[in-house]
């Protein structure tokens, strides 16, 4: 069985180089994350999966998450051999396509980034993307975008994805960064896993929605200023997700 996962920094992981902790460098640094404990090596002791694809990125949006995951599903023939663990992100984040460079621009608060590392590091390109962002995105999109718009978009994307998984008989789990990123299915579906205060919108099928990462890591975080899981936190998240998978499917 293979694992595909996607999300933001809570799945991309914690930077192993401590000198980078306070450096605002969006992208894909070398990290430890919950999938690190699913394979033999420095952190894990057993290979739970034949292969692992982790497409999460720091600052990633739900738009990026569902775009990439849907593309992967449509391009993969042996879906029976895969389990998908999807981690929802902050609803206000989004992305836009910059046609000139064929690049997606991720938007997080008042920051932006491209996934193409070459584009991020070419000074002329960086200046042009910066101008595009300040001239068009900030005044016309970001400054007028509301939280309710982000939540409504998440409602559409999440329910569409669930229906896609049901149609293709895909094995999937939905987690999140925190309660603020997830639908309040625990309360309205009569589930009592633990107290939950999520987003108020309906989900067509909540059977494969599990607790968010922050609820599992709890106090095992980098610091009171940085709520990302530390090594112990990631190990707890890994154990929880593996347990939820084993409840449903044989791996």
Q: What is the mean pLDDT of residues 216-236?
A: 90
Q: Is the pLDDT of residue 198 over 90?
A: no
Average pLDDT, the chain: 84
pTM check: above 0.85: yes
> Which pLDDT does position 25 carry in this prediction?
47
CA 97 to chain centre: 19
CA distance 116 to 220: 32
40-69: pLDDT as tens digits: 766 777 789 999 999 998 889 999 999 999
Work out the pLDDT band at 24, boundaries 50, 70, 90.
Answer: very low
> Which pLDDT does position 27 carry in this prediction?
45
Work out the pLDDT band at 193, boundaries 50, 70, 90.
Answer: low
105-117: pLDDT as tens digits: 888 877 777 776 5
Q: Which of 30-39, 76-85, 139-148 has the highest mean pLDDT?
A: 76-85
> Which pLDDT does position 189 carry in this prediction?
53
DSSP string, the chain: -EEEEE-SHHHH-EES-GGGTT----S---EE-GGGGGSBTTTBSS--SS-EEE---TT--HHHHHHHHHHHHHH-S-GGGEEEEEEE--TT-EEEEEGGGTEEEEEETTEEEES-HHHHH-HHHHHHHHHHIIIIIHHHTGGG--HHHHHHHHHHHHHHHHHHHHHTT-EEEEEESSGGGSB-HHHHTT--SS----B----S--TTB---HHHHHTT-BS-SS--SB-HHHHHHHHHHHHHHHHHH---
Work out the pLDDT band at 163, boundaries 50, 70, 90.
Answer: very high
> Which pLDDT does position 10 carry in this prediction?
94
> Which pLDDT does position 236 carry in this prediction?
95
């Amino acid at each position: 069985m293979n694992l595909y996962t996607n999300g933001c920094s809570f799945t991309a992981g914690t930077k192993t180089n401590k000198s980078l902790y306070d450096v605002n460098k969006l992208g894909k640094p070398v990290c430890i994350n919950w999938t690190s404990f699913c394979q033999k090596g420095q952190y894990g002791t057993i290979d739970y999966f034949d292969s692992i694809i982790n497409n999460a990125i720091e600052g990633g949006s739900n738009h990026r998450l569902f775009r990439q995951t849907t593309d992967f599903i449509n391009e993969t023939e042996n879906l029976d051999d895969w389990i998908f663990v999807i981690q929802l992100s902050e609803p206000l984040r989004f992305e836009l396509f910059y046609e000139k460079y064929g690049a997606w621009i991720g938007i997080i608060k008042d920051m932006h980034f491209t996934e193409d590392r070459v584009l991020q590091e070419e000074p002329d390109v960086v200046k042009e993307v910066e101008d595009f962002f300040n001239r068009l995105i900030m005044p016309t999109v970001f400054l007028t975008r509301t939280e309710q718009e982000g939540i409504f978009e998440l409602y559409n994307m999440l329910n569409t994805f669930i229906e896609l998984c049901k149609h293709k008989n895909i094995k999937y789990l939905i987690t999140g960064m925190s309660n603020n990123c997830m639908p309040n299915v625990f309360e309205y579906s009569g589930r009592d896993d633990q107290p939950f205060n999520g987003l108020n919108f309906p989900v067509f099928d909540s059977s494969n929605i599990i607790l968010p990462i922050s609820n599992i890591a709890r106090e095992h975080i980098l610091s009171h200023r940085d709520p990302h899981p530390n090594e112990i936190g990631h190990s707890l998240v890994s154990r929880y997700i593996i347990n939820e998978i084993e409840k449903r499917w044989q791996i």
